[in-house]
Structure 1
Amino acid sequence: MAGDPVDVLVGDYLAEVTLAALAARHRQDPGKGYVDYFLDQLRPHLATLKRRGVKVVANAGGFNPAALAGELRGMAAADGVPLRVAHVEGDNVLARLDELAADGHPLTHLDTGAPLAEWGHRPLAANAYLGGWGIATALAEGADVVVCGRVTDASLTVGPAAWWHGWRRDDWDALAGALLAGHIIECGAHATGGNFSGFTRIPDMLVPGFPIAEVAADGTAVITKHGPDGGAVTVDTVTAQLLYEIQGPVYLNSDVTLHLDEVELTEEGPDRVRMSGATGSPPPPTTKVAMFGQLGYQTVHTVYVTAPDVPAKVALLRAQIGRDLPDGVELEFTPIGTAAPDPASQWEATVGLRVMATAGDREALDAFGLATRLGSLYLQSIPGFFLDGAVPPRATARPVIGYWPGLLPQSALAHRVVLDDRAFDVPAPPDTALTGQPAHPEPEPVPTGGATRTAPLGDVAYARSGDKGGNSNVGIWAPDPRAWEWLRATLSTAELRRLMPELAGLDVVRHELPKLRAVHFVLRGLLGTGGSSNTRVDQIGKAVGEYLRSKPLPVPVELLD
């Protein structure tokens, strides 16, 4: 608000892992269940928002958008600001699960196709991903602030763009362009240098600014930022976010299916990147329902092992900690890092060992007593063993929240907008179509000949990775056009498996996006059943891309020089 004028402020608060944590808080206090600090962020600016006519659209409503909207109305009234606050509802289908099952909706798993009845856990939360037409309706009826629960992330942009330009529900290409713009700005500074492989080439990364999408009437958009803010908007920072958390060239959404194959990014000037070529088609007949249920309990600690003989020391710790393991308790050991061959400090000779214990019920985990076992090893285990004295061992187990992404026909939802004392029903999409991902052939082997030098992949490529349920995605692209053909031919599925041995036994899907000079992979099951319950240290796959960039392989000298 302190920079160049904008028409709509959007706020995306509901990552899948965040939603899982919010679900637990909602169970403790059903009257809340929304993102409290949204109120703290907004309240000092209510009068300015009204005076400037800036709209606010956010999904901070979480599990209780009506309550958050009520709080905002009370604040505005107390401050004497005549703001009209609407909320969007209908995403929460937890109370309808039995009814939906009786009506023949099995809520099959998005990846496996298994029905919800086979999960074996009663959902604690079930929220469908709504589209943006409820938001557009609220704005058209005069709302100043629109509070949503679980809408798709990009719907926060699609809805305002559709309202502003007066689009029809079948303006597929325009809607697809807005969906792409929403996808780029939904993660804030991700598009201005945050989490960007080329961060060392951005001069001011201390506080990268938020991105701005200038969406035209035909759906094309320019991504920019406030001039004085840190960070940068370049073709590569936008590419990074474009490749984030996609499932391939076909991007499914509740309002439109976006086809990324022909998307082109063009630098128009400093901090201005134009996105064009996005095409759209009807959305799928189903939408995703994010369901969470408690799977059990876990406790985790990190201990430290000092070189030499790290593998033997870890082996003894495994045996000692796992001795007399009670039924129902499982242990997982993850060494983190390696000791330097010639350590310049004690810490370069140190390896962290993450120890996680899980069980279906708290009693079994408490009886096992991981913290007590670790503390007992000081005088009877390996040399060089210690815990961080500033972090006392935590004996209390915490719940493990599982994730089930189910599919539900959009026609089964009761999508509705509430403004003042009126309610507006939002009909399901009139036209739908099932669009699958294209099948791309594996590349021909890299031609032999020419001088090469072993170097990290990151010397010639950038990468961005993320999570979608139990899957991790990773997009790798060549910032230098000369490197594209080599990168495309090199990064076959077989080569990716060689670079990432942990993919053994997992399904890997590969696609190419030539206009972005990118190879994209979906690593199915790398994150278990979802970020909220898997036991990886990199819980939601954010570091997979940088891990790949660290891998050495033969690179043509001409690309390195």
Structure 2
Amino acid sequence: MIRIANCSGFYGDRLSAAREMVEGGPIDVLTGDWLAELTMFILAGNRLKGRPGYAPTFLRQVEEVLGTCLERGVRIVSNAGGLDPAGCAQAVAELAERLGLRARVAHVTGDDLTGRAGGGPLSAVGGDGAPPLTANAYLGGRPIAAALSAGADVVVTGRVTDAALVTGPGIWRYGWQPGDLDALAGSVVAGHVIECGCQATGGNYAFFDEVPDLAHCGFPIAELHADGSSVVTKHPGTGGRVSVGTVTAQLLYEIAGPRYPGPDVVARFDTVRLEQQGEDRVRISGVRGEPAPDTLKVAVTHLGGYRNTMTLMVTGLDAADKARVAEEAIWARVPREAFDEVHVGFDPPLLRITVFSGDRRVAGRAFSSAVVETGLAGYPGLYGLTPPGDASPYGVYSPAYVPADTVRAEVFLDGEPVGTDEPAPGTKALERLSTDDPADPGASAFAEDGTEVAGGRAWRELPVVRAPIGRIVGARSGDKGGDANLGVWVTAPERYAWLRDFLTAERLADLLPGLTGHRIERFELPNLLALNFVVHGLLGRGVAASPRLDPQAKALGEELRAQVAEVPEFG
């Protein structure tokens, strides 16, 4: 096997994690994910201000572990290169020289398509027609494998899929070819599990009371095997927990349907098998793969304009009338029609008003000062939570797709080009090595004696009690552009039989009225005893533009679990 560890799930994660993973036990590859949709905006803003277009925190982590990694043969693979992987690689090389170390540093480019933004799918989306700030294709694992095969100690990439940080080392170690679909798919699933760091080891877990020492949660490790199966674990002595539940929660994070497409393979999440193999060890097996699509996803970002938010507290009696009076007073001072868009969110006791405009002056002090002016001439009990401030720029994210054969990754080792060994255009569309496609891939999750069917009958015979559904249902939610993802799961087949019948898309909207008016898709994953919902458009134009207090829908799952309904007494 190859032991692939994670030390970062986002730009801002625990800085000590790299040292903890290197010193905590044996690993072969140290990976870290720095790039979210929001991160690309942050790096674009930094670059406009003359700052690095990569993640400087990566260098701080590397400084602590580079010597040990070189001594032990641990390879480092990260997408922290962001918008400037060459600059990041150069910074790593300079760091190594300063430390008196000899490190071979590779970087991967080819993802940046901003120069193609003159037309087609990469045209500016709305606004003043200005070209995108960023347009980056999601590359796969093969360029990373090429860099490792060429002898790189450190590999820095720009935009790659999060799972590519695991798939790449897997291709390097086992020599998987494009037709090794199941093995590739298994590596994608392993990569998806560990990409968000502690979310696989008990972080943000619905049943957090089951997780010991969450304050010192250990980061995950995937022990990846030649057939694509893996075991997710963590270093002994660290906090947190690796269980079928924690792994299931992360598998449901930010996905849509059962088919999970990527540049290397389509992984079938409805074929994933999870098995607890011991304390803090969960085996992932059975993953089936299908040929990768002939397009690549491109993350396009664009400056949308300016925004400003003011938040007022509305307490005591007649809250709805007080909120109405507050709005009337504000719009009497600055016309609502002056803004391109206005979003009013009232969730007592918070009244949150966000305005958008292409003119910074309109969305800036003109608005916030108008709100402050109501301070002694408004509803009783008025006080604000935000001081008057200027407007800030906001970005808009939109996905685009380009033909895969028009994007070519380039790999450089110590500044010199390296052959990528990319499959020729068209060779990705291979037939499965094993063409049988189970009609119900998740059926074997249930006992051969018909437990699933019996469970469907059994739960209807149980007494019913009104209780928060979160007492028996776990959930995890997140964002995908302007859409929200909400995964829910249970722990036994009879509970899944109830969940599948109970939680329809219509029932979800009834339980969470804030979803009303949005198209909701439901996907079944019986092998994981889970359902996944995609709520289209809930987050508007993405996290950087969303006026929601929870712009990434992180709390959506917990909101659902708090809802009271009639549920069977499973015992």
Q: 2:145, 2:172 within 8 Å by CA — same for their partners in 1?
A: yes
Q: CA deviation at 1:482?
A: 3.0
Query: Which of 125, 141, 162 is the matching residue for 1:153?
Result: 162
Counterpart Cα distance in 2 of 1:276 and 1:523: 29
Partner of 2:496: 484
Residue type matched to 2:418 in 1? F
Q: 1:250, 1:258 within 8 Å by CA — same for their partners in 2?
A: yes
Question: Deviations along 1:263-294, whole A, 9 cap, x unmatched?
Answer: 11000000000001101111111111111111
Query: Which of 35, 45, 57 is the matching residue for 1:14?
Result: 35
Q: CA deviation at 1:433?
A: 7.6
Query: Which of 98, 115, 136 is the matching residue for 1:95?
Result: 115
CA distance change for structure 1 residues 532 and 433 in 2, over 3 Å: closer, same or farther?
farther
Q: 1:439, 1:511 within 8 Å by CA — same for their partners in 2?
A: no
Query: Which of 527, 530, 548 is the matching residue for 1:515?
Result: 527
Partner of 1:111: none
CA distance change for structure 1 residues 184 and 359 in 2, over 3 Å: closer, same or farther?
same
Q: CA deviation at 1:331?
A: 2.8
Q: CA deviation at 1:357?
A: 1.7
Query: Which of 323, 343, 352 is the matching residue for 1:354?
Result: 352
Partner of 1:431: 428
- Most deviating of 291-300 and 14-23: 14-23
Question: Deviations along 1:391-433, whole A, 9 cap, x unmatched?
Answer: 6x14211001011210011111131100124213433562238
Counterpart Cα distance in 2 of 1:116 and 1:301: 29
Q: CA deviation at 1:505?
A: 2.5
Partner of 2:373: 376
Query: Which of 311, 319, 344 is the matching residue for 1:333?
Result: 344
1:33 alignment partner, SS class: coil
Residue type matched to 1:459 in 2? R
Q: 2:412, 2:418 within 8 Å by CA — same for their partners in 1?
A: yes
1:321-470 aligned within 5 A? 321-323=330-332, 324-325=334-335, 326-336=337-347, 338=348, 351-366=349-364, 369-388=366-385, 393-426=387-420, 427=422, 430-432=427-429, 450-470=462-482
Q: 1:191, 1:211 within 8 Å by CA — same for their partners in 2?
A: yes
Q: CA deviation at 1:333?
A: 2.1
1:529-544 aligned within 5 A? 529-544=541-556
Does residue 170 (structure 1) correspond to residue 179 (structure 2)? The answer is: yes
Partner of 2:282: 273
- Most deviating of 327-336 and 286-295: 327-336
Does residue 211 (structure 1) correspond to residue 220 (structure 2)? The answer is: yes
2:23 alignment partner, SS class: coil
Q: CA deviation at 1:504?
A: 2.5
Residue type matched to 1:51 in 2? E
Partner of 1:345: none
Query: Which of 43, 56, 64 is the matching residue for 2:63?
Result: 43
Does residue 239 (structure 1) correspond to residue 248 (structure 2)? The answer is: yes
Partner of 1:136: 145
Question: Deviations along 1:50-87, whole A, 9 cap, x unmatched?
Answer: 10111000000000000010011111112110100000
Residue type matched to 2:371 in 1? L
Counterpart Cα distance in 2 of 1:511 and 1:480: 18
Question: Deviations along 1:276-314, whole A, 9 cap, x unmatched?
Answer: 110111111111111111111001122212212111111
Q: CA deviation at 1:121?
A: 4.8
Query: Which of 506, 531, 552 is the matching residue for 1:494?
Result: 506
Partner of 2:5: none
Residue type matched to 1:204 in 2? D
1:261 alignment partner, SS class: helix
Counterpart Cα distance in 1 of 2:314 and 2:508: 31
Partner of 1:112: none
Q: 1:85, 1:143 within 8 Å by CA — same for their partners in 2?
A: yes
Residue type matched to 1:417 in 2? V
Q: 2:193, 2:247 within 8 Å by CA — same for their partners in 1?
A: yes
Residue type matched to 2:61 in 1? Q
Q: CA deviation at 1:544?
A: 0.9
Q: 1:329, 1:365 within 8 Å by CA — same for their partners in 2?
A: no
Residue type matched to 1:68 in 2? C
Residue type matched to 2:393 in 1? P
Counterpart Cα distance in 1 of 2:340 and 2:256: 35
CA distance change for structure 1 residues 287 and 445 in 2, over 3 Å: closer, same or farther?
farther
Residue type matched to 2:366 in 1? G
Matched residue count: 525
Partner of 1:26: 47
Counterpart Cα distance in 1 of 2:94 and 2:462: 71
Q: 2:185, 2:265 within 8 Å by CA — same for their partners in 1?
A: yes
2:270 alignment partner, SS class: coil
Counterpart Cα distance in 1 of 2:236 and 2:529: 28
1:184 alignment partner, SS class: helix
Question: Deviations along 1:123-154, whole A, 9 cap, x unmatched?
Answer: 11111100010000000000000000100000
Question: Deviations along 1:13-67, whole A, 9 cap, x unmatched?
Answer: 00111222222212222x6210011111111222111101110000000000000
Residue type matched to 2:397 in 1? Y
Partner of 2:563: 551
Partner of 1:343: none
Residue type matched to 1:61 in 2? G
1:182 alignment partner, SS class: helix
Residue type matched to 1:335 in 2? F
Q: CA deviation at 1:117?
A: 6.9
Q: CA deviation at 1:546?
A: 0.8
Q: 1:289, 1:408 within 8 Å by CA — same for their partners in 2?
A: yes
Query: Which of 102, 110, 113 is the matching residue for 1:82?
Result: 102
Q: 1:251, 1:258 within 8 Å by CA — same for their partners in 2?
A: yes
What runs of 5+ residues in structure 2 fail to find an aligned partner? 1-21, 433-438, 442-452
Q: 2:274, 2:283 within 8 Å by CA — same for their partners in 1?
A: yes
Counterpart Cα distance in 2 of 1:92 and 1:425: 19
Residue type matched to 1:327 in 2? A
Counterpart Cα distance in 2 of 1:536 and 1:32: 30
Q: 2:459, 2:495 within 8 Å by CA — same for their partners in 1?
A: no
Query: Which of 471, 477, 499 is the matching residue for 2:483?
Result: 471
Counterpart Cα distance in 1 of 2:523 and 2:185: 20
Counterpart Cα distance in 2 of 1:117 and 1:295: 9
Q: 1:60, 1:148 within 8 Å by CA — same for their partners in 2?
A: yes
1:369 alignment partner, SS class: helix
Residue type matched to 2:376 in 1? L
Residue type matched to 1:298 in 2? R
Query: Which of 2, 5, 25 is the matching residue for 1:4?
Result: 25
2:214 alignment partner, SS class: coil
Q: TM-score, normalised by structure 1?
A: 0.89
Q: Identity of paired residues, percent?
A: 41
CA distance change for structure 1 residues 321 and 118 in 2, over 3 Å: closer, same or farther?
closer
Residue type matched to 2:268 in 1? H
Q: 1:477, 1:516 within 8 Å by CA — same for their partners in 2?
A: yes
Partner of 2:84: 64
Counterpart Cα distance in 2 of 1:187 and 1:434: 32
Query: Which of 105, 110, 121 is the matching residue for 1:107?
Result: 121
